[in-house]
Amino acid sequence: MDLWKHGSLLLLVSLPILKENLSVLARFGLNDDQLKERGLLFLESPFSTVVHPTSHVDVIKKDPTDNLFLDCALEGRADFVVSGDNHLLEVRSFRGMPIVSPARLLQEFLEK
């Protein structure tokens, strides 16, 4: 998060991803104001870009909502996908984009 907040990374987000993330956060008891605050954090950051995927992939069968992240990455021409989700990490690479854990991303940034 610090790399993103300080502009070292550009976050790609789509409205379906934002909706999915807020839905998950709501299950953890966040109220409407807290959810709105988190949504606006991603949408209003100068280091975020909202993409509108025009195609949809069906790569991850066990949890189809994880495909939203691949849709977004494709549309936004991401260099890589960062996730702690096991379904995404099992894919390892998608159309030339590495899929890495946050720990792996930090390790690569520290090596540079």
CATH assignment of the domain containing 63: 3.40.50.1010
- Is 42 within 8 Å of 15 (Cβ atoms)? no
pLDDT, greater one: 34 or 73: 73
CB of 14 closer than 8 Å to CB of 75: yes
Task: Give yes or no for residue 100 having a pLDDT over 90.
Answer: yes
Beta strand pairing status for 93-94 and 97-100?
A: antiparallel
Residue % of the chain over a pLDDT of 90 = 57
pLDDT, greater one: 53 or 19: 53
- At 81-99, the pLDDT tens digits run 999 999 999 999 999 999 9
Mean pLDDT of the 22-33 span: 86
Q: Is the pLDDT of residue 12 over 70?
A: yes
Under 8 Å between Cβ of 80 and 104: no
Single pTM value for the model: 0.87
pLDDT for the residue numbered 24? 84
End-to-end, the C-alpha distance of the chain in Å comes to: 18
Provide the domain count of the chain: 1
Which range marks the domain in which residue 6 is found? 2-111
In whole angstroms, what is the distance from residue 17 CA to residue 67 CA?
A: 10
| Per-residue pLDDT at 36 | 82
Which pLDDT belongs to residue 112? Answer: 67
Q: In the chain, what percentage of residues exceed pLDDT 70?
A: 99
Token match 């993409």: residue?
51
